[in-house]
Amino acid sequence: MNMPYKEILKEKNFINILIGRFSKRSALILFSIELIWLTMELTNHSPLLLSLVVMAETLPFILFGIYGGVKADRWNKKTVIVISDIGIAVLLISLPILYQLNMINYFILMAITVMITLFSCFSEPCFRAIIPELLPKSKLQEGNALLDSLQRGASILVPVSIGIVLKITTEIHLFSLAFILILIAAIFHLLISYKPKQFFDLEEKPPSTLNDIKQTIGYLKKHKDILFIMLVQGISIMINTGLWRVGLPIYLETYLGKDIDTFGYITGILGATSFGTSILLGLLKRISQLIVFNAGIILWGTGLLAIGIYPSITIIYVATILIGIGQASEGLARVVILQNQVPRNILGKVFSISSSLNYTSDTLSLGAISGILAIFSTAIVFSGGGVAILLTGIIGAITLKTKSNNQMQGNTDNKFIC
């Protein structure tokens, strides 16, 4: 019996990017968690100033993410990733140093947060765009499944391990640990053997940034299936984020009398289910990624709808499993479809547009949810949100059903926009 993922784990480049990605993801999770604690200390627990610094982790990507994607398609992707790692490492280690010297304040913290996010504006499109250049097409699904699983695993393990770390050191040195992890990421990313492909004639002047963006938007207009997939995920995130982060804790307390411990259990179930689903999907190579994507959206919506209709903790646990399966399915399928379908010379830009859309959805959702909950009950909002996502998945399945699996996953390795 063949061991799952045995062949892809023989790829040295993939092992390097796998370890590097896990380390970087863990570092950024640590940073985000400690950022909240330090902000509250510096601002005397100001909700407004805390929300602003949290938004500093998303707004730069909304503003500069597409520009980062343009550069990701022109520059050496490995070099951009490594420079980003080193830049973030310098910023992370500066935080405990400034804190010990009593030189840290809210505005410095905000500036450092913005700069870390700006580095990510360039490195994140490069990360997704470099995968198809490192792996053969036959191993893309497995590779993305493992990467997705490890990132989800980090989201589960890192918060749990903080309590152990704090028995050894103080909270401020969570930044120091993040610094060590990001350095490890830089080392493994540096070990990747990578020769960038040239998509432009060296004798020709490459198109301007604006023309590059126009070219990519033109591609998306012509390929409405790709655009539709990106929009569906953005809409689903916009509906889900506010519901899950704000609405669910209120729902648990209002309808079921449950506290933050129960919310923690639910979050753990969501993460574990997503992790397992990603691992399993990596082994199912013959199933259409379009089917996986639309099924994921439908399961996601069904879970939210169930929470709104049936105020029962058992139903919420079951619904959380459905949501976890749905989110992992649509997320992995979207990445594989884009990497298979989108020409390599615009792949970074397409991923950056998709990420910018998702960050915008996150921000809008968190900004709107309080006003919505002031008008409607949480049960109604959960039901309405679930129905909206469910219908979106059904419409997607009907709209895209004429697209054959061969067309969506055709060989595009030698297909470029002129």
Query: Given this model, what pLDDT does residue 388 score?
Result: 94
Picking from 137, 157, 191, the residue at the C-terminal end of a domain is 191
**Three-state DSSP class for residue 8:** helix
Distance CA 28, CA 34 (A): 10
Element (H, E) at 207: none
- Contact in structure between 23 and 185 (CB atoms under 8 Å): yes
Distance CA 175, CA 160 (A): 16
Residue 367: other Cβ atoms inside 10 A: 12
Query: Given this model, what pLDDT does residue 404 score?
Result: 45
- Contact in structure between 344 and 137 (CB atoms under 8 Å): no
Domain that holds residue 235: 214-408
If we measure between CA atoms, which residue out of 149, 128, 194 comes closest to residue 340? 128
Are 241 and 388 in the same domain?
A: yes
- Contact in structure between 226 and 337 (CB atoms under 8 Å): yes
The one-character DSSP state at 376 is S
Residues 6+ apart with CB under 8 A from 81: 20, 123, 126, 127, 130, 189
This prediction's pTM: 0.79
If we measure between CA atoms, which residue out of 268, 303, 317 comes closest to residue 383? 303
Are 168 and 219 in the same domain?
A: no
**Three-state DSSP class for residue 311:** coil
Residue 197, domain member (yes or no)? no
- Contact in structure between 365 and 237 (CB atoms under 8 Å): yes
Are 273 and 383 in the same domain?
A: yes
The one-character DSSP state at 173 is G
Mean of per-residue pLDDT scores for the chain? 86
Residue 204, domain member (yes or no)? no
Query: Given this model, what pLDDT does residue 411 score?
Result: 42
Residue 227: other Cβ atoms inside 10 A: 17
Which tokens sit at 315?
């139903």
Are 220 and 125 in the same domain?
A: no
CATH number assigned to the domain comprising residue 157: 1.20.1250.20
Query: Given this model, what pLDDT does residue 315 score?
Result: 93
Are 106 and 250 in the same domain?
A: no
Residue 203, domain member (yes or no)? no
Are 74 and 31 in the same domain?
A: yes
Are 248 and 374 in the same domain?
A: yes
- Contact in structure between 293 and 332 (CB atoms under 8 Å): no
* Helices 174-190 + 77-100 axis angle, to 10: 160
Residue type, 277: T
Distance CA 399, CA 401 (A): 6
Residue 415, domain member (yes or no)? no
Are 242 and 136 in the same domain?
A: no
CA 199-147-264 angle, to 5 degrees, is 140
Query: Given this model, what pLDDT does residue 413 score?
Result: 43
Residue 205, domain member (yes or no)? no
CA 82-84-85 angle, to 5 degrees, is 65
Task: Match 């297909």 to its residue by tokens.
Answer: 415
Are 158 and 251 in the same domain?
A: no
Distance CA 366, CA 70 (A): 28
- Contact in structure between 364 and 313 (CB atoms under 8 Å): no
Picking from 136, 157, 191, the residue at the C-terminal end of a domain is 191
Task: Tell me which residues of the chain have a pLDDT lower than 50.
Answer: 1, 200-203, 404-418
- Contact in structure between 53 and 112 (CB atoms under 8 Å): no
Query: Given this model, what pLDDT does residue 403 score?
Result: 53
Distance CA 262, CA 54 (A): 24
Residue 132, domain member (yes or no)? yes
Residue 317, domain member (yes or no)? yes
Residue type, 145: A
Distance CA 297, CA 276 (A): 17
Are 256 and 126 in the same domain?
A: no
Which tokens sit at 237?
């995130």
Residue 198, domain member (yes or no)? no
Are 225 and 352 in the same domain?
A: yes
DSSP string, 23-70: HHHHHHHHHHHHHHHHHHHHHTS-HHHHHHHHHTTTHHHHHHHHHHHH
The one-character DSSP state at 9 is G
The total of structural domains in the chain comes to: 2
Are 168 and 235 in the same domain?
A: no
Picking from 191, 224, 256, the residue at the C-terminal end of a domain is 191
Maximum Cα–Cα distance for the chain, whole Å?
68
